[in-house]
Structure 1
Amino acid sequence: MGNRLQRIAVYLTTLLLAACVQWSSMGVHLPPPAPPPPPTPSYMQDIGEVPLDDHARAQKEAFVYPVSFGTTRKPTVAGGTAFSNQRDATLHYGTVSVNVPTNHRTGSLGSWLGTVTNLDPELTVRDIRLARSEAEFLARASAELATVTGPENNYILVFIHGYNNSFTDAALRAAQLGVDLGVPSNNMFLFSWAANSDTLKYTHDEATIDASEVHLRAFLNTVSRVASGRKIHIIAHSMGNRALLRVIAASVANAPDERQTRFGQIILAAADVDRDVFAQNAQNYLRVADRTTIYLSPYDYAVEASSLVHKYPRVGRGEKPQVTIPGIDSVVSKIKVDFPAHAYFAETRPILTDVKNLILRNQPAREGNGWQKVDDYWVVSDK
């Protein structure tokens, strides 16, 4: 009986092999598995300058713009529905929703008079949703990110504010930047350290930005997990540059290249950073970013005051760059804006257009009236 079963098994195997040979000779083959889809490009390719949207003409209705945040401020109300200027030992996560009114003007936070006349209404905070934990924030922020369909939404933008900013000030500026740069809803992030909204407490803010370094590092690590492969771009303003400079330097010093978070564009706006300290550390940006750009101005009175206080030049002010780092672009803005001329990076169309094109194309937008190449840096002025 056993021999008979063995003979049947051999016979069936022979038939199967013969069938395979016959199918092969007839050119019948199983199709190979489909290749995986190509990765979504991080930057737009082979297109010209991308313009800003003109909200004043195009926007028909008011809308709400969400900004995800991490903050070191102490909550003033149970549940984290408002934040003070006092430091907390805990990094709080959440989302702040900002009302963007009809007739919002590009580069503007609005004004009381603009609200009355409806020509340039104020942006306002609608509400704050505090996450109960980092894990909840991760889950919520990841789920709410715009679906990636191309380079126009394959990124996150992080804003780090400067001194003399309340939480509300920082949230409104982050939202204005997000709206004017066309950052997809839920892809705008804010790190708000416990700055005072008081110019006389400048030295207090200096102490606090030093203490905020560890929290900024933690926040950027969290954002990298939320991003899930999307590009992470950063705009650091004023004193916020000090913490970013040290976080990047520590990352390069302590982690091998393959473990460092890779950034897209790093924008250093009106940097309140000592010239020599920057020169000693700026090379680190080249290790972690696709491109780094410095914006400075000879009319920035806030950074000029810092230079007088510290007796040495600051990176964010001058007729020309305070320091030249090969591989890092410098743009001198000679566009005149309202005193103290410290927010020109967010208020002027040429610079906003330049930043938008860096984010979307990894290419600047520095052609046309007002732009001029001088030696190894750029100057932009009123037309």
Structure 2
Amino acid sequence: MKHHSSGAISSPGLQRFGIPALLLFALVLGGCAGHARGVMAPVLLTGATGGSKVDMLVVTSRVPSDDPATLFTGERSPRPYLNEITVSIPSGAKRKSGTVQWPKRLPPNPETEFAVTSVNQLNSVEEGRTWFRQHAGGGHALVFVHGFNNRYEDSVFRFAQIVHDSGAKVAPILFTWPSRASVFDYNYDKESTNYSRVAFEQTLRTLAKDPDVKDITVMAHSMGTWLAMESLRQMAIRDGKVASKIDNVILASPDIDVDVFARQFTEMGDKRPQFTIFVSQDDKALAASRFISGDVQRLGAINPAEEPYRTQLERAGITVIDLTKVKSGDRLNHGKFAESPEVVQLIGQRLVTGQTLTDSNVSLGQGITAVVAGTVNTVGKVAATTVAAPLTVLEQPKRVPKKTELGATLGSKTPSSELSY
């Protein structure tokens, strides 16, 4: 993918935000004021407590903390751990969709705040399979990977919110990797995703081999998209393909160098999952990431309606949903996919079940733009289309995309040594 860089100080991101502003964004990223920490100790629900609950399976490559209030640290474990966790969510009248009601003090009040109600450690793959059979969700597994600067509890509560608000009929599985939850540990976190590639690949492989699992959707956010892409690429290289049950990959605000994404995508081979990417050109976190990453555009900040992206995405068969105009309570505009009720419902009701999107059954309202990739048989007949409101998405069948250029050649069978940038 061509990023047209002419030097770091001339970066569009820097021109728009400036170095002092980027530092401010970093401090905002690191801020967790306003709610209690150490919320993983279970609370007892009374019969009068209303609301809903989300049961999830949590796989982690973190080191245990030996403290029931935190469960795991941000350090790296040589072996994965498995827990079953239940989160209570306040009733709809007491919370706004798209938000996490963090406890202001401990213990939390389940009437008005998110609260953990049970934690059980599982000690074998078979126990994990038993959990899946009990929470099968029609055989649909949704596997979520969080992003940069997340504590264990951050990822648990955010995923519980996504599952609840999306209405997804799935078995929710969270993979949480060792983040130190400090804005100053960006490089440590990035290396932790590399450290966790095998553990995440094995998680997906175990799910794919389970006869009770019909299909798998991988959804990753921010830096977690790097881990997801690397593990899928690694699986494809190891096995000659991505496991066939992995139908869908959703990348939200992907913090990936666009050139590297092109190589990762290509090296997965011809039989890839269906990709959907959520982007936003006003994502300040990705602007900061671009600044410290050689001034190469981040995938989650592209304008998919512009060339060369539009044609490249169309030919690759990648669907992109542009959330630039969507308003969010997130000051960095980095979590719109989870905070917009309309978007999170689209994820739960359509994308995780592998259904194609059409203009007759998808209308998300003002401010959301879709750029939907064409396929080899529709290129030239159906251009990538942008619509402000209502959202119109062109239906497309799943097909193997033809060769295109997105930094490297997407879908190409050309050996890596011959790929050009």
Report the TM-score when normalising by structure 1. 0.73
Match of 1:201 in 2: 185
Shift of 1:237: 0.6
Distance 1:378 1:359, change over 3 A: farther
Shift of 1:331: 1.2
2:116 pairs with 1:125: yes
Distance 1:197 1:62, change over 3 A: same
Equivalent of residue 72 in structure 1, options 56, 61, 77:
61
* CA–CA distance in structure 1, aligned partners of residues 276 and 347 of structure 2: 9
2:337 pairs with 1:354: no
Alignment deviations for residues 143-188 of structure 1 (CA, whole Å, 9 cap, x no partner): 3123x6xxxx331111011110111000111111111122347x10
Distance 1:286 1:66, change over 3 A: farther
Shift of 1:343: 0.9
Answer yes or no: is the 8 Å Cα contact 2:205–2:243 preserved in 1. no
Answer yes or no: is the 8 Å Cα contact 1:80–1:130 preserved in 2. no
* CA–CA distance in structure 2, aligned partners of residues 162 and 182 of structure 1: 22
Answer yes or no: is the 8 Å Cα contact 1:331–1:377 preserved in 2. no
Answer yes or no: is the 8 Å Cα contact 1:82–1:128 preserved in 2. no
Tell me which amino acid in the other structure corresponds to 2:297. Answer: P
Tell me which amino acid in the other structure corresponds to 1:328. Answer: I
5 Å-filtered alignment, 1:203-218, equals 203-218=187-202
Tell me which amino acid in the other structure corresponds to 1:190. Answer: L
Equivalent of residue 262 in structure 1, options 236, 245, 248:
245
Match of 2:321 in 1: 331
Displaced runs of 4+ in structure 1, greater than 6 A?
A: 78-81
2:222 pairs with 1:231: no
* CA–CA distance in structure 2, aligned partners of residues 71 and 200 of structure 1: 22
Give the secondary-structure state (helix, strand or coil) at the position aligned to 2:181: coil
Give the secondary-structure state (helix, strand or coil) at the position aligned to 2:327: coil
Tell me which amino acid in the other structure corresponds to 2:255. Answer: D
* CA–CA distance in structure 2, aligned partners of residues 362 and 85 of structure 1: 36
* CA–CA distance in structure 1, aligned partners of residues 125 and 142 of structure 2: 19
Match of 1:164 in 2: 149
Match of 2:167 in 1: 182
Answer yes or no: is the 8 Å Cα contact 1:74–1:85 preserved in 2. yes
Match of 1:246 in 2: 230
Equivalent of residue 369 in structure 1, options 359, 365, 384:
365
* CA–CA distance in structure 2, aligned partners of residues 238 and 197 of structure 1: 14
Shift of 1:309: 0.7
Alignment deviations for residues 349-370 of structure 1 (CA, whole Å, 9 cap, x no partner): 2322321212236123643632
Match of 1:91 in 2: 80
Distance 1:79 1:180, change over 3 A: closer
Shift of 1:316: 0.7
Shift of 1:318: 3.2
Match of 1:302 in 2: 285
Distance 1:77 1:251, change over 3 A: same
Tell me which amino acid in the other structure corresponds to 1:280. Answer: R
Give the secondary-structure state (helix, strand or coil) at the position aligned to 1:316: helix
* CA–CA distance in structure 2, aligned partners of residues 105 and 272 of structure 1: 27
* CA–CA distance in structure 2, aligned partners of residues 68 and 108 of structure 1: 21
* CA–CA distance in structure 2, aligned partners of residues 348 and 93 of structure 1: 30
Distance 1:287 1:143, change over 3 A: same
Report the TM-score when normalising by structure 2. 0.67
Give the secondary-structure state (helix, strand or coil) at the position aligned to 1:288: coil
Distance 1:381 1:342, change over 3 A: farther
Match of 2:135 in 1: 145
Count matched residues.
313
Distance 1:239 1:76, change over 3 A: same
* CA–CA distance in structure 1, aligned partners of residues 240 and 69 of structure 2: 37
* CA–CA distance in structure 1, aligned partners of residues 388 and 248 of structure 2: 20
Distance 1:340 1:94, change over 3 A: same
* CA–CA distance in structure 2, aligned partners of residues 368 and 184 of structure 1: 20
* CA–CA distance in structure 2, aligned partners of residues 285 and 112 of structure 1: 45
Answer yes or no: is the 8 Å Cα contact 2:52–2:88 preserved in 1. yes
Mean Cα deviation higher: 230-239 or 99-108: 99-108
Alignment deviations for residues 90-115 of structure 1 (CA, whole Å, 9 cap, x no partner): 100111111111234321112568x9
* CA–CA distance in structure 1, aligned partners of residues 351 and 75 of structure 2: 35
Distance 1:188 1:210, change over 3 A: same
5 Å-filtered alignment, 1:280-319, equals 280-283=263-266, 284=268, 287-289=271-273, 291-310=274-293, 311-319=295-303
Distance 1:156 1:373, change over 3 A: closer
Tell me which amino acid in the other structure corresponds to 2:341. Answer: R
Match of 2:97 in 1: 106
Shift of 1:313: 0.8
Mean Cα deviation higher: 197-206 or 277-286: 277-286
Tell me which amino acid in the other structure corresponds to 2:197. Answer: E
Answer yes or no: is the 8 Å Cα contact 1:95–1:129 preserved in 2. yes
Answer yes or no: is the 8 Å Cα contact 1:299–1:336 preserved in 2. no
* CA–CA distance in structure 2, aligned partners of residues 285 and 196 of structure 1: 34
Larger CA Rg, structure 1 vs 2: 1
Distance 1:250 1:80, change over 3 A: farther
Answer yes or no: is the 8 Å Cα contact 1:142–1:226 preserved in 2. no
Tell me which amino acid in the other structure corresponds to 1:336. Answer: K
Distance 1:87 1:293, change over 3 A: same
* CA–CA distance in structure 2, aligned partners of residues 206 and 361 of structure 1: 30
